[in-house]
Amino acid sequence: MSEDQSCIIHHFSHYCSLTKEEKALLVSLEENPTDIKAGSLLWEVGDPAKEFCTLHSGWAYSYRHLESGDRQILEIYLPGDIIGLREFAFSQRLENVCMITDGVVCHFPHKRLLEIFRQSVPLTSVVFAIASRHQALVTERLVTLARRSARQKTAHFLYEMYLRLRQTNGDIDRQFRLPLSQEQLADILGLSPVHVSRTFSLLSEEGLVFRDRHNVTIPDLKALAAAGEFDDCYLHDDVRPLFDLSA
């Protein structure tokens, strides 16, 4: 896979400038790509946790089933994300991971990441920064589930997805594809599918969000951020000075 085609390089480049050697190390994580169909499980709770994977294309999500039979979606993964970082210190999987869309996944063992740690301090720092961002995303999701209204939850989530997609695709401008079903949105936001539908209707009536099947248009980004009481510090904090090793 070439450097220009590498989603993980685009993702890591958000954090710091990469040398030719560092780009080559990252491309090696995208060797042996595997085509995965929408709805396919990458792994389940309790499976051995011996490897990570990079999401070269497509969307995926992690989730847990509750005793009641309900499902809580924990995290959405986008192209360029590393899946499985949270389980690095565990022998078993802590959550299920499923593809939302068709995609391409590249698996690599834990020891491969350790090799990168030995060869590049900047890449090691970026991996820790990415892990910190993943934790911040989960923390923000917890606040959303526990304390925000349905209107705030939906507005906050949509604005968050917009910003995350913009990080690796600068061509997105107020419109993006959101390949999530009503049921999946409900399981992310802690609402019923009917409540999700009503909330989208409300946001549309207010001129904040327009949804046509899986296409979302945001006419006024600042207004949507205000509706979701969005503070983007957990996504847009300036981390590049951390990687200036000459300082």
Listed residues 88, 114, 141: the one ending a domain = 141
Helix 121-147 to helix 20-27 angle, to the nearest 10 degrees? Answer: 60
* Residues 101 and 11 occupy one common structural domain: yes
Instruction: Evaluate whether residue 241 is within a structural domain.
Output: no
Q: What predicted TM-score, i.e. pTM, was given to this entire model?
A: 0.88
Task: Return the CATH number at 125.
Answer: 2.60.120.10
Closest by alpha carbon to 42, among 86, 89, 88, 103? 103
* Residues 137 and 214 occupy one common structural domain: no
By the 8 A CB rule, do 199 and 151 touch? Answer: yes
- β-bridge pairing 71-77 and 103-109: unpaired
Instruction: Evaluate whether residue 2 is within a structural domain.
Output: no
Residue 244: per-residue pLDDT: 58
Listed residues 115, 141, 167: the one ending a domain = 141
Residue 236: per-residue pLDDT: 66
* Residue corresponding to tokens 């085609």: 5
* Residues 29 and 80 occupy one common structural domain: yes
Listed residues 94, 109, 141: the one ending a domain = 141
Instruction: Evaluate whether residue 194 is within a structural domain.
Output: yes
In DSSP notation, 123-167 reads HHHHHHHHHHHHHHHHHHHHHHHHH--HHHHHHHHHHHHHHHHHH
Closest by alpha carbon to 83, among 117, 60, 64? 60
Residue 239: per-residue pLDDT: 54
* Residue 106: other Cβ atoms inside 10 A: 20
* Residues 96 and 130 occupy one common structural domain: yes
Task: Return the CATH number at 200.
Answer: 1.10.10.10
* Residues 137 and 17 occupy one common structural domain: yes
Instruction: Evaluate whether residue 247 is within a structural domain.
Output: no
Instruction: Evaluate whether residue 236 is within a structural domain.
Output: no
* Residues 125 and 182 occupy one common structural domain: no
Q: Can you tell me the distance from the alpha carbon of 87 to that of 83, in angstroms, rounded to the nearest whole number?
A: 9
* Residues 128 and 161 occupy one common structural domain: no
Phi-psi region of 69 (alpha: psi -120 to 50; beta: other; left: phi over 0): left
Q: Can you tell me the distance from the alpha carbon of 80 to that of 216, in angstroms, rounded to the nearest whole number?
A: 21
* Residues 207 and 163 occupy one common structural domain: yes
The per-residue pLDDT string of the chain (247 residues; one tens digit each, 9 = 90 and over) reads 556 667 788 888 877 788 999 999 988 888 888 999 999 999 999 999 999 998 989 999 999 998 888 899 999 999 989 999 989 889 999 999 999 999 999 998 888 888 889 999 889 988 888 888 888 888 998 999 999 999 999 999 999 999 999 887 777 888 999 999 999 999 999 999 999 999 999 999 999 999 998 999 999 999 999 999 998 888 865 555 555 555 4
Say how many domains are in the chain. Answer: 2
* Residues 174 and 57 occupy one common structural domain: no
Instruction: Evaluate whether residue 242 is within a structural domain.
Output: no
Residue 38: per-residue pLDDT: 97
Q: Structural domain of residue 113, as residue ranges?
A: 7-141
Instruction: Evaluate whether residue 102 is within a structural domain.
Output: yes
* Residues 132 and 220 occupy one common structural domain: no
Instruction: Evaluate whether residue 31 is within a structural domain.
Output: yes
CA end-to-end span of the chain: 34
Amino acid type, 19: T
